[in-house]
Amino acid sequence: MQLGMIGLGRMGANMVRRLLKGDHDCVVYDKSETAVAELAKENAVGTGSLSEFAKRLTKPRAIWLMVPVGAVDKAIADLLPHLDRGDILIDGGNSYYVDDIRRAKELTAKGIHYVDVGTSGGVWGLERGYCMMIGGETDVVRSLDPIFATLAPGRGDIPSTPGREKGGTAEQGYLHCGPNGAGHFVKMVHNGIEYGLMAAYAEGMAVLHAANAGTRSRAVDAETTPLRDPEHYQYDFDLADIAEVWRRGSVIASWLLDLTAGALSRDSALSEFAGRVSDSGEGRWTIKAAIDESVPVPVLSSALFERFSSRGEADFADKMLSAMRYAFGGHLEKLAKS
Amino acid sequence: MQLGMIGLGRMGANMVRRLLKGDHDCVVYDKSETAVAELAKENAVGTGSLSEFAKRLTKPRAIWLMVPVGAVDKAIADLLPHLDRGDILIDGGNSYYVDDIRRAKELTAKGIHYVDVGTSGGVWGLERGYCMMIGGETDVVRSLDPIFATLAPGRGDIPSTPGREKGGTAEQGYLHCGPNGAGHFVKMVHNGIEYGLMAAYAEGMAVLHAANAGTRSRAVDAETTPLRDPEHYQYDFDLADIAEVWRRGSVIASWLLDLTAGALSRDSALSEFAGRVSDSGEGRWTIKAAIDESVPVPVLSSALFERFSSRGEADFADKMLSAMRYAFGGHLEKLAKS
Amino acid sequence: MQLGMIGLGRMGANMVRRLLKGDHDCVVYDKSETAVAELAKENAVGTGSLSEFAKRLTKPRAIWLMVPVGAVDKAIADLLPHLDRGDILIDGGNSYYVDDIRRAKELTAKGIHYVDVGTSGGVWGLERGYCMMIGGETDVVRSLDPIFATLAPGRGDIPSTPGREKGGTAEQGYLHCGPNGAGHFVKMVHNGIEYGLMAAYAEGMAVLHAANAGTRSRAVDAETTPLRDPEHYQYDFDLADIAEVWRRGSVIASWLLDLTAGALSRDSALSEFAGRVSDSGEGRWTIKAAIDESVPVPVLSSALFERFSSRGEADFADKMLSAMRYAFGGHLEKLAKS
Amino acid sequence: MQLGMIGLGRMGANMVRRLLKGDHDCVVYDKSETAVAELAKENAVGTGSLSEFAKRLTKPRAIWLMVPVGAVDKAIADLLPHLDRGDILIDGGNSYYVDDIRRAKELTAKGIHYVDVGTSGGVWGLERGYCMMIGGETDVVRSLDPIFATLAPGRGDIPSTPGREKGGTAEQGYLHCGPNGAGHFVKMVHNGIEYGLMAAYAEGMAVLHAANAGTRSRAVDAETTPLRDPEHYQYDFDLADIAEVWRRGSVIASWLLDLTAGALSRDSALSEFAGRVSDSGEGRWTIKAAIDESVPVPVLSSALFERFSSRGEADFADKMLSAMRYAFGGHLEKLAKS
């Protein structure tokens, strides 16, 4: 079927490529003429303005927005004058599901259908397919099925879940999760889990990495806790090999572990990384949702706060601790200036 | 090659079966005559005493212990009188690596070689193979290679890690990690990570499960925080479908997720489970090791403490909190008796 | 000076009593005629309707609302028709500071001044005075100074902070923290800290309480981690005595500890408490604010989630963990039904 | 009564001073002749060797060791040849209670009594008195009562706990907690709580400190989560005033808050501190004890790990996270080199 794509960054462009391979017609637009020209060479219909973009699409239009989260509302506002009742707007970015609820309400009043799609797969999606979590009206989502079916990974060689008989598109890698916002809600939690998984591997690797702590001598002063049993910490582990062996038959095998094994294989000291870890919103929103729901999420929140700390955001609290220690114990030696 | 196996519980018996399929000779012993008889029917050499067991093994003997962690020291003590210098004792259970270091020292003094093997794979190992993390002397571990190679999953259809060129047994699913204790140290951290991964999925699923919080009315009193935006929590998610869709192309795909999908597919309310979650030691030891190493592990420790709490171990602390609230705020209404 | 008080629950009524003792004129209103009559006996001016209430107050009126957080907006709406430009509305409850910002904007448009006051002191405030954190316009807050000065504890016998020379009302126990919302923002964080402090004491007491773990025998099975050194856990501590001794000269002396000592002195088993710990919103909002600010708050969030768990809110996640353990390890024995 | 003191650092010397003021006889020894001479001027009996030290003490001797935790065993070994059966050795430092249990066993075999005393009070103890938590044999501890009574703060002007009628020394600020190790066990948990309290204040202050987050512009890119409501974070709080106001009548008043107010009063930016926070062992041991006891301590462990992180100990885990993000999302921009 025909799909219009606005936003030809890496994600948007690769989705168009996967759709073209699947024999869909793609009309594309981006502020960057180069990006449009690039895809036009690959048989997409390139357009130079939103007006032209809208004209090249058959009504009712199906338009996929793949723009940064902070740019979605403006993109919709710019596009609206060119749309007609019955058109479908799909937000495939990382929107906060609360915005989806608001937008759907606003667009419904204008006769425009809104679909929110949380997309996972990163830079690997072109090849592996995109896992999609979808929110919106049932009929509207169903009408887009050819698009989702092509973008999704499909069954591939992933074995069926034993005992699962209900079928459905989940086994193809896309799912209509519920009404508007449902897609990005599920994607939000997906990323919250992702933070937790990543932190679990990272902390475990750090424990292995420091397993030679007994070979180093610690300062002997009142400010340093001595290691009681240095003979228990004499291991120099090969982290790349360990990640590799866990990929085979262990309980913790996963795609993130595959990537970890690759990263450690290239450089087990990870020396090219500074360790300032960004977060892109979903982890935060997951914790906020959990708080609203009264659901305890100590692991997911710890993972989020670890990222904050990695960027120096704990500095003031840490100084406060040092100031207190100085106040009651006279721990002068930790003054920055000395 | 020939291997003696002591301990024919599910794990030990299945390992023998996998070895027999791989054309190894297995001499087996267990306190349960039935367990021995069962495997004897499958072509293992059954024995009725440790003395007979030792006699049926060619020197230098290779003996694998697969007994509960609390029974290992006694098993070794019972076996020792029947052993000779040069024999190899393998502990394949879930021992604390600190015990390995001690045992290796004691056994070395007697001329016996000790090998510690952390084994992952659970009830699926017979079919999928066991992921093994091995500690011990290099020559001794190498001499057991045929055994490890058969027990391990092998390469299977798991793709190679891109860029990995060093080869080695890790790609077969077993790894000599270092000197004694190294095997169980790596297995310990493996399980620590496992706790973290499991908690991340469980917390995320709980957030999805409660995403209909806005459809329920909360008590309106000073003790209950009102939900500000009930319209944001109106989703009734199908958790089985969501776990299923994440298996395909998402960043959080993993074997644990496969199992989660299976469990939710059978009963998405998980009503047959009470939620009292045991822990078998490795998670605790991982945190203790991290503390000794000064490595922060907020995620792994949160996962452990969540398990403690699930078993009611937070009760006294919670009562203490209630007592304080009553003391300063007169929050009478939460008295258990009222 | 004259103050109108709406809401004569324990907090509101006691504040009126403290003001009356300080020779202020109090006009009071509550839906409960009994509550009004009670205070009228103590020399407050009781009124039977908002209309009468407004008439008895001299313009520009100063009106303090002390109603449940969920009732504030309605109380303001009901009161508005009776107010005039220049009047001052004070919200002394536990409002979310975000609501203060909104209300101040709405009321300013009508010429009404809004002041938000976070109040700490609980049931002890009548006797000890109330610690007040205030947000609003500088002139307006200053005009209410006589009220705040009377409600506050004053210097009392609390020693001055060494080196502090700037003076100001903070030393009297009340503080103009900033523009609207500032009072409740500071109170919100105050309560967030309170949760953390309480949890620290509660967890520590729980560790002491279980220090006799070595005297009890643990189940010996694969689901239970054995205690390696039972001889290290043979202490039967007197928690009431320990809380008491810490009150004198220790680093952790505090008012919360005083209350803890009292609670343990009455019943060190805390048997009248069920341990289902409520939270009244501020703890949640503190974590949300921290997330918005990118400030890591692992301790404060752990304290909040501990409360959620105490109320059974971790149940689904715990069942999910059990389901996974069953799936990979066949840990049948923890089925609820068996 | 007479007491011998070994170790005349700040803590030991001040304890001697307090004892001298209380008309006790103090025989002192330290490797530093200057330290000995200093106290000799203040009427202590200075000695130049352990042999002389022992001779100047009346049998049965009462000897207090106030040396760094790592030096206690050696100090005891050096002293032993000069002791006689019936003598009492008191360890007043920060020993691990597990060492107390071992030492008591060893010394009992030699007829020497061992007493472990956890001491809180820091640099303020000379003036305020020391809070002491004591472990040892009942008769032996009782025989030292005059010493403890003098070192302790006494009742002072701290009000009695309402309802407490049992009396006892806890109200004087010292307590015989139980058999050997009990003193340091209680002190250990005391410090564990201390870490939690400090972290709660520090995190709360950090949330206040960043309450102007909305006044700063954040980077607008895929790596940065935008602040949705900058108008909610426009507060420039005076932290010194806020700490001060909380000292009066609030639920979170405490001695640590008094010190916090002092520190912020001097410099609310805390600019002289680097924020690398040491830990001296007790916090770690508290977590280990909790793990052995199966008691969840998410708050206390979070506080400990926050300290580890403040010293850069999370760096490897953070790099691991960055490496994973790069692997699945191509987040190139966070490479350290770029």
Instruction: Give me the torsion for CA of B98, B101, B104, B106, rounded to 10°.
Output: -80
Rounded mean pLDDT, B30-44: 97
Which are the catalytic amino acids of D? Answer: 187, 194
> What's this model's pTM, rounded to 2 decimal places?
0.96
> Which of C296, C302, C308 is facing A308, going by the closest CB pair?
C296
Any CB–CB contact under 8 A between A15 and chain D? Answer: no
Residue with tokens 């003696």: B4
Portion 236-275 of D in contact with A at CB < 8 A: 255-256, 259-260, 262-264, 270, 272-275
Query: Alpha-carbon distance D32 to D10, whole Å?
Result: 13
- Residue B270 backbone class (left: φ over 0; alpha: ψ -120 to 50; beta: rest): left
Backbone angles phi, psi at B25, to 5 degrees: -95, 125
CA distance D274 to D264: 15
A334 — pLDDT class (breaks 50, 70, 90): very low
Q: Does A222 touch chain D (CB under 8 A)?
A: yes
Q: Which two tokens stand for residue B207?
A: 């957030």
pLDDT at D332: 52
Is the CB of C321 less than 8 angstroms away from the CB of B202? yes
Evaluate if residue C1 carries a pLDDT over 50: yes
B262 to A232: CB separation less than 8 angstroms, yes or no: no
Is the pLDDT reported for residue C29 higher than 80?
yes
Q: Which of B187, B203, B293, B313 is catalytic?
A: B187
d(CA A202, CA D309): 14
The average pLDDT across B59-76 equals: 96
pLDDT of residue C337: 40
Chain A positions touching C253 (Cβ under 8 A) are none
What pLDDT band is residue C167 in, cutting at 50, 70 and 90? confident
A249-282: per-residue pLDDT in tens?
999 999 999 999 999 999 999 999 999 999 989 9
Q: Report the pLDDT value the prediction gives residue D157, as an integer from 0 to 100.
A: 86
Q: What pLDDT score does C311 carry?
A: 95
Percent of chain B with pLDDT over 70: 96
**Which amino acid, one-letter code, is at C235?**
Y
Element (H, E) at C145: helix C145-151
Q: Cα separation of B321 and C198, whole Å?
A: 6
**A83 has a pLDDT exceeding 60:** yes
Question: What own/partner pairs with CB < 8 Å and gap ≥ 24 does B158-165 have?
Answer: B158/A247, B158/A248, B159/A258, B161/A244, B161/A247, B161/A258, B161/A261, B161/A262, B161/A265, B162/A262, B163/A262, B163/A265, B163/A266, B164/A240, B164/A244, B164/A261, B164/A262, B164/A265
Beta-bridged to residue D88, according to DSSP, are D62, D113
The one-character DSSP state at A159 is: P
- What residues of chain A, 41 to 100, have a C-beta less than 8 Å from chain B? 97-98
pLDDT band, very low/low/confident/very high, at D173 (cuts 50, 70, 90): very high
Note the pLDDT of residue A49. Answer: 97
- In angstroms, what is the C-alpha Rg of chain D? 25
What's residue A189's pLDDT? 98
Q: Per the CB < 8 Å rule, is B298 touching D294?
A: no
**Among the listed residues D118, D173, D125, D135, the one whose alpha carbon sits nearest the alpha carbon of residue D13:** D125
- Judged by a CB distance cut-off of 8 A, whether residue C332 touches chain B is no
Q: What is the pLDDT of residue D165?
A: 86
Question: CB C296 to CB A288 under 8 A?
Answer: no
pLDDT of residue A338: 36
Pairing of strands A131-135, A113-120: antiparallel
Among C265, C267, C266, smallest CA distance to C244 is for: C265
CA neighbours within 13 Å on the CB side: how many for A312? 3
What letter does residue C4 receive in the DSSP assignment? E
Q: What is the pLDDT of residues C198-247, one digit of tens each?
A: 999 999 999 999 999 999 877 666 677 889 999 999 999 999 999 999 99
Instruction: Please tell me which of the candidates A131, A251, A303 has its beta carbon nearest to residue B249.
Output: A131
Touching A (3+ Cβ pairs <8 A), the chains are B, C, D
pLDDT tens figures, D24-51: 999 999 999 999 999 999 999 999 999 9
Name the nearest CA neighbour of A20 among A48, A1, A34: A1
Which residue, B312, B286, B305, is CA-closest to B297? B286
Q: Which of D224, D227, D201 is nearest to D213 (CA)?
A: D227
Of A291, A306, A313, the CB nearest to C287: A291
Q: D136: closest CA among D78, D184, D171, D170?
A: D184
Average pLDDT over residues D259-286: 95
Q: What is the pLDDT of residues D217-249, one digit of tens each?
A: 776 666 778 899 999 999 999 999 999 999 999
pLDDT of residue B331: 64
Contact assignment for A291 to C288 by CB distance below 8 Å: yes
Band the pLDDT of A220: cuts 50, 70, 90: low
Active-site annotation holder among A42, A194, A244, A306: A194
Contact C251 D128 (CB under 8 A): no
Residue B280 is predicted with a pLDDT of 85
Span A36-46, average pLDDT: 97
Catalytic residue among C106, C194, C244, C306: C194
Q: How far is B82 from chain D (nearest CA, A)?
A: 36
CA distance A314 to chain C (A): 6
Over range A97-117, report the average pLDDT.
Answer: 98
Tell me whether residues D287 and B287 touch, CB distance under 8 A: yes
- Provide, as residue numbers in chain D, all residues whose Cβ is less than 8 Å from the Cβ of A318: 202, 275-277, 306, 310
Q: Which chains touch B (3 or more CB pairs under 8 A)?
A: A, C, D
Chain A residues with CB-CB distance to B258 below 8 A? 159, 161
Reported as a pLDDT band with limits 50, 70 and 90, residue C157 is confident
Q: What is the mean pLDDT of residues C309-318?
A: 96
On the question of pLDDT at D82 being above 60, the answer is: yes
Share above pLDDT 70 across residues of chain C, in percent, rounded to a whole number: 96
Which residues partner with A27 through β-bridges? Answer: A4, A45
For the segment C170-181, what is each residue's pLDDT rounded down to a tens digit? 999 999 999 999
- Using CA atoms, how far apart are residues C95 and C72, in angstroms rounded to an integer? 8
The pLDDT of residue C330: 74
Q: Which of A31-45, A219-233, B233-247, B300-314 has the least mean pLDDT? A: A219-233
Q: Is A21 a catalytic residue?
A: no
In this complex, the residue of D225, D265, D298 whose CB is nearest that of residue C302 is D298
**In this complex, do D317 and B295 lie within 8 Å of one another by their Cβ atoms?**
yes
